[in-house]
């Protein structure tokens, strides 16, 4: 049996123009699919609604209740965190007056900005009248910790504190409660 020669069909021969047309069609499909997106999911999401991040209050914008002979108190240290569990950060600031010599007493203040309003002092953790200086200050997991340096008597020079206390404050109910981390010790 003899096979007859089949003439070559034009549509079975590939040419560069066929490849260009195929590539252009594929590119059009891919580009068009980027404009078609599925609808947003409407199923209820578990858990609480997302909390929008709020900046911690700036202590420089708050009135710090210290008498510094007509000057503004100087913010020595600051740390922020959610102290009362409401999802908004508070700032804790250590402030003191400028002094030419000696160690001026510090004040430790909790500053809150209600709904992004003007920052204001809502609690005093260390009153400057207690004549303490603050070192090793931090806010961690809603707890404020500090090392307080003070004086055992008025006879001790103001440059050289001789009493050290480690204290921490935690929000409980509607107030900050102070607890000693260790007994007071001499320096």
What's the helix, strand, coil split of the chain in %, to 5? 15, 35, 45
Q: Cα separation of 170 and 37, whole Å? A: 49
More confident residue, 111 or 186: 111
pLDDT at 185: 45
This model's pTM is above 0.85: no
Least confident of 28-37, 140-149, 156-165, 170-179: 28-37
Q: Find the DSSP H helices in 16-129.
A: 16-35
Give every strand in the sheet of 90-96, ordered side by side: 74-81, 90-96, 106-112, 120-126
The yes-or-no verdict on residue 183 having pLDDT over 50 is no
The string of pLDDT tens digits covering residues 116-167 is 789 999 999 999 999 999 999 999 999 999 999 998 998 988 778 899 999 9
The yes-or-no verdict on residue 113 having pLDDT over 70 is yes
Domain residue extents for the chain: 59-186
More confident residue, 17 or 35: 17
Place of tokens 């911690």: 56
Q: What does DSSP say about strands 163-172 and 120-126: parallel, antiparallel, or unpaired?
A: unpaired
Contact 107, 72 (CB under 8 A): no
Tokens standing for residue 174: 């509607």
The string of pLDDT tens digits covering residues 52-88 is 567 899 999 999 999 888 888 999 999 999 999 888 9
How confident is residue 26, by pLDDT bands cut at 50, 70 and 90? low
Instruction: Collect all residues with Cβ–Cβ distance below 8 Å to 113 and sequence separation of at least 6.
Output: 57, 119, 120
Residues paired with 139 in a beta bridge: 144
The yes-or-no verdict on residue 6 having pLDDT over 80 is no
Q: Please provide the average confidence, as pLDDT, over all residues in the chain.
A: 80
Alpha carbon distances (Å) from 139 to 69, 91, 92, 93, 142: 30, 9, 8, 10, 6
pLDDT at 161: 87
pLDDT at 103: 74
Closest C-alpha among 60, 85, 67, 63 to residue 174: 85
């Amino acid at each position: 049996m003899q096979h007859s020669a089949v003439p070559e069909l034009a549509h079975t021969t590939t040419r560069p123009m066929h490849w260009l047309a195929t590539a252009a069609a594929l590119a059009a499909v891919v580009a068009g699919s980027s404009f078609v997106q599925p609808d947003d999911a409407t199923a209820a999401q578990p858990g609480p609604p997302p909390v929008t991040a709020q900046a911690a209050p700036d202590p420089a914008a708050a009135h710090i209740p210290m008498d510094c002979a007509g000057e503004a108190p100087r913010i020595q240290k600051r740390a922020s965190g959610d102290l009362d569990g409401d999802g908004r950060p508070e700032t804790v600031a250590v402030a003191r007056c400028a002094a030419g010599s000696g160690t001026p007493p510090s004040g430790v203040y909790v500053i809150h900005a209600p709904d992004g309003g003007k920052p204001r002092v809502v609690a005093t953790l260390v009153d400057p009248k207690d004549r303490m200086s603050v070192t090793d200050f931090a806010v961690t997991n809603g707890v404020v910790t500090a090392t307080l340096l003070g004086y055992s008597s008025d006879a001790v020079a103001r440059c050289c504190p001789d009493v050290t206390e480690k204290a921490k404050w935690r929000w409980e109910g509607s107030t900050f409660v102070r607890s000693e981390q260790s007994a007071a010790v001499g320096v």
